[in-house]
Amino acid sequence: MSTSADPDRHPPEPGGSLPAPSPPQGDDPFAVPFWRQRGWRFAAGFLAAALVLSLLSLATREDTPPLLETASAPGPLTRAASDTSGRPAGCATDDDDRATPAAPPPDVHWRTIGGTRVPVSKTAGPTQSSGPVLWCFARTPMGAVLAAHVIPAQMTSAGWRAVARDQVVAGFGRDLFVSQRDSLSDARLKTHKNGSYAGFVLADYSPEAATVDELIRSPEGPYYSTSVRLEWSGGDWKIKPANDGGLHTELSSESGTDGFVLWKV
């Protein structure tokens, strides 16, 4: 499958202006559903926190993107590791299954986060929660797949700052995401229909990094795909954002479900 975003492109020079966003259709860029907006074709409201943000007007801002000063005290993934395993206190998983997933885990069940149903597993994760942060994923291909689904869904919750602090790899991309997400109203996010996770493909995997392609079904029926990059950092899987602040690539239209492992929901 193809995606049109380039997560490895160079960031803007510090202090310089960002590329101008595409002009919206009409006076209100949110007047139509996300998946009908020019240049995006959104299929799910829970992806808006990463994708719609590029439409927001940051082109004239020259201030440094805000860091996470307003997040609460250090969370489980920003504190020092508890032992030689490198995992935070209370986090222990079975990391022996390194096979590429050909089916959902037998113990998968579904949890609703911010109006979106996400797959979770007692064996692959997340096995721990600290406030709004659902964490402790297995260091396995299936653990990476579940992290790629769960972490972005939490970005529409009131505790998104804590999630960004603990579950997005620190750097320019994260700072820019925080700046963009801070400009987006929580109330506005809740007005849009949610799509649903339909399937996945593990495009690339190592114990240090992974790329997960996700199949999403829009509320109106069509399928779309997007890619999420992850990195093993601080004893757990975290989202590796692009230099433009995106937590995943732009959505691409899919003709069906061929080639994906289906969640069977």
DSSP code string of 243-258:
TTS-SSPPPEEESSST
Tokens of 123: 């064996």
- In whole angstroms, what is the distance from residue 11 CA to residue 210 CA? 22
Residue 81's CB is within 10 A of a number of other CB atoms, namely 14
Q: Is residue 151 helix, strand or coil?
A: helix
Cβ contacts of 243 within 8 Å, gap of 6 or more: 7, 8, 9, 10, 11, 172, 173, 176
- In whole angstroms, what is the distance from residue 216 CA to residue 50 CA? 15
DSSP code string of 11-22:
PPPTTSPPPPPP
Give 9-28 pLDDT, tens digit per residue. 444 333 333 333 333 333 33
Residue 116 β-bridge partners = 113
Q: Is residue 198 helix, strand or coil?
A: strand
Residue 110 β-bridge partners = 119
Residue 129 β-bridge partners = 134
Question: How confident is the prediction for the chain on average, in pLDDT?
Answer: 76
Per-residue pLDDT at 3 exceeds 80: no
Q: pTM of the entire structure?
A: 0.75
Give 40-85 pLDDT, tens digit per residue. 223 334 444 333 333 333 333 444 445 565 455 567 777 655 556 7
What phi and psi values does residue 182 have, to the nearest 5 degrees? -65, -20
